[in-house]
Structure 1
Amino acid sequence: MPPAAKALLAQLAGAAGALVLARNGWLTGLWPLVGAQAGLAAAVAFGMGSARWWLPIHLGFLPLAVVALQLGIAPAWYLAAFVLLLLVYWTSFRTQVPLYLSNRPTAAAVAGLLPARPLRLLDIGAGTGSLLRPLARARPESRFTGVELAPAPWLIGRLLCAPLSNIDWRRADLFAPAWADYDAVYAFLSPVPMPAVWAKAVAEMQPGSLLISNSFAIPDVQPERIAEVGDRRGTRLYVYRIPSPTDSGR
C-alpha cells in the first residue's frame, strides 16, 4: 500500500475508534477525543508497518489542526504554507525521500574518498548543492553534476552553483540521468530507494567506480568501507565499489 494511503487509512481508523469510545461514554470533552484519535491513528500506522517517522506525524496531526482552528488563522496562510511545502518536498510522498542537506564535514570526508585524478561525480537528490559546491571549489579539475526535482531546492541550488563553472546543475528525477559516464555517484536519500539505487549503479556504472551513500546502507550488500565523518550528526558514509560483470556479488 502506498504510504499516503496508509496514512489516510490510519487517520480514518483513529477517528472511527475515537468516535466509538465517545459514543460508549468512555470519552468526554474535546481534548480526550483528540488525544484518543491521535493515539489510535499512530497505533494503526505502526501496525501497518509505516516508517517510524510517520508516527509523530499521526500523533501531532489532529491536535495541531485543532489548535490552528482555535487560533483563527486566516485561510491564506494555510495555502501559503501548503505551496511552500509543495515546492520544497514536491514528490516526497511518492519517493519517500525527504530533503536532506549534506554539511561541510561530509563534503570534506567525501573529498577524501575520491581518487586524486580528475573525475566526474553525480549527486542524486542534490538538494541545494551543499555537497557539490565545496567539492567543486576544492577540485576545479573535476566535473560535478547535481540533479534535484523539487522546485525550491533546485532553484536555490541553481543560483548558488552558478558561479562554479565545473558544476552542471539539472532539474530531474534522481533515476533519470544515465550513470555510465560518472566515476562516483553520491546519494543522501532514505532507506526506501537504496535497493533500486544499487541496481541502477551495477547496471550502468563502470566496474571499479564508487557509489557513496550518506547514512543509508544498501540492504544485503557489503560496503567496501564505512567512513565516520565525525560531525554532530554522527554521519556515516557507506562506500561501495561497483563489481565487474563476472563478480558473483553483482
Structure 2
Amino acid sequence: MEVVASKTRKGKLLPTNGVFSSPVFLALSLQLLAFIFSYLLYAADRWQFGGVLSPYVLLAIHASVAASLSFLLGMSWWWWLIQFAFPFALVVSLVFQLHPGFSLFVFLLLVLLFWSTYRTQVPYFPSKSSLLPCILEQLPARSDLRFIDIGSGFGGVSISLAKMRPEQSFFGVEVAPIPWLVSWFRAAMLGKKLRFYLLDYQELDFADFDVVFAYLSPVAMPALWEKIRSEMKPDAIFMSYEFKVPGVEADLIIKSNPNDPDLYVWRI
C-alpha cells in the first residue's frame, strides 16, 4: 500500500460544463450509423464486384464500426463490448429462431442484475481484495463508527470489513434486486453489525454515517459530491475507488498495488 499524494487544504468544487445525454440513445444512434455504413458498403460491393463480401464479413464490419465509434466518442468500455456484441446477438436470435420466452428470461435477468444502470449510468464494478487494507487503514478505531458502501453490489466490501471490525457497524445500499438479495442473505448468515438497504443512495441521509465509500462511475461523481458536502458531518470521511470528483483535490490518494486503481480520500 502506497500513499500517492496527500494534502491538508480542502479543495473546492470547480464549475464544469457539459451536456448529459442518454448513453442508450447514443448507442442506438451509433448502431444506426454502423448499419447505414454497412448497407452502403454492401450496395457498393454488389454494384462494383458482384457481391464479394459475405454477410458474416459485413456483420463483423458493422460491429467493429459501432464499437469504434463508441470508443472515439468517449463512451465507457462496457459500451464498446455491448456495441460489438449486439449485432451478432441479434443475428443469432433470428437465425436460430430462439423462443420468445428465452429472450424474455434473459431480459428480466439483466433487469434484475442491472436495475438502475440506464438511469444512473453506473454499472456493476467489483472491488479488488487488495483494496480492503487501504480502507481499513483510514477507518477510525471507535466502536460507534458507521460505514456505508453506496452501490454495494453483492456486499463484498462491507461484509469483509465487518469481519475485521466486528465492534463497528457496516452498511450497504444497492438498487439492483438480485445483488441486494445476495448481500442481504450473506449478512443474515454472518450475524454481525451488518445491514443492506434496497434503495437508491439518494434517499439516504449521509449525516447518519461516519464513512461513505463509493465505487461508482465518473458520471455519478459531481452530484454525489454535492450530497456529501451538504449532508455529511464535520470530520466524516468520503472514499472513492478509481473515480475522482472533478475539480476537487483529494486529501489522500492511496494505491494498494502498482497496477490497481487509486483510492481517493476526502476528510469533510
Tell me whether the two structures share a fold, i.e. TM-score over 0.5: yes
> 1:190: which partner in 2?
217
| Cα distance in 2 between the residues matched to 1:42 and 1:102 | 26
Q: How many residues align structurally? A: 241
Report the Cα offset of residue 46 of structure 1: 4.2
Find the counterpart in structure 2 of residue 63 from structure 1.
88
SS of equivalent residue, structure 1 residue 227: strand
Superposition pairs for residues 108-147 of structure 1, below 5 Å?
A: 108-118=133-143, 119-147=145-173
4+ long deviations beyond 6 Å: none
What is the 5 A alignment of 1:1-250? 1-25=21-45, 28-46=53-71, 48-71=73-96, 73-118=98-143, 119-162=145-188, 163-230=190-257, 234-242=260-268
CA contact (8 A) 1:46 1:55 kept: yes
Q: CA deviation at 1:20?
A: 1.9
Taking a change above 3 Å as real, the CA distance of residues 11 and 108 of structure 1, as seen in their structure-2 partners, is same
**Unpaired stretches in structure 1, ≥5 consecutive residues:** 243-250
Q: 1:164 to 1:111 in 2, by over 3 A?
A: farther
Question: What is the DSSP-based 3-state SS (H/G/I as helix, E as strand, rest coil) of the residue aligned with 2:223?
Answer: helix
TM-score when normalising by structure 2: 0.82
Contact 1:125 1:174 in 2 (8 A): yes
- Amino acid of the residue matched to residue 19 of structure 1? Y
SS in 1 for 2:154: coil
Point out where structure 2 has 5 or more consecutive residues left out of the alignment: 1-20
Say if 1:6 and 1:48, in contact at 8 Å, map to a contact too. Answer: no
Taking every aligned residue pair, what percent have the same amino acid on both sides? Answer: 36
In the TM superposition, what is the alpha-carbon distance from 1:215 to its structure 2 partner?
Answer: 1.2
1:144 aligned partner, one-letter code: F
Superposed CA RMSD: 2.1
SS for the counterpart of 1:192 is helix
Distance apart, 1:193 and its partner CA:
0.3
Name the TM-score, length of structure 1 as normaliser. 0.87
Which structure has the higher relative contact order (CA within 8 Å, separation 6+)?
Answer: 2
Which whole-Å deviations, capped at 9, do the CAs of 1:46-76 have from their partners, x for residues lacking one? 4544334322321222124324544554443
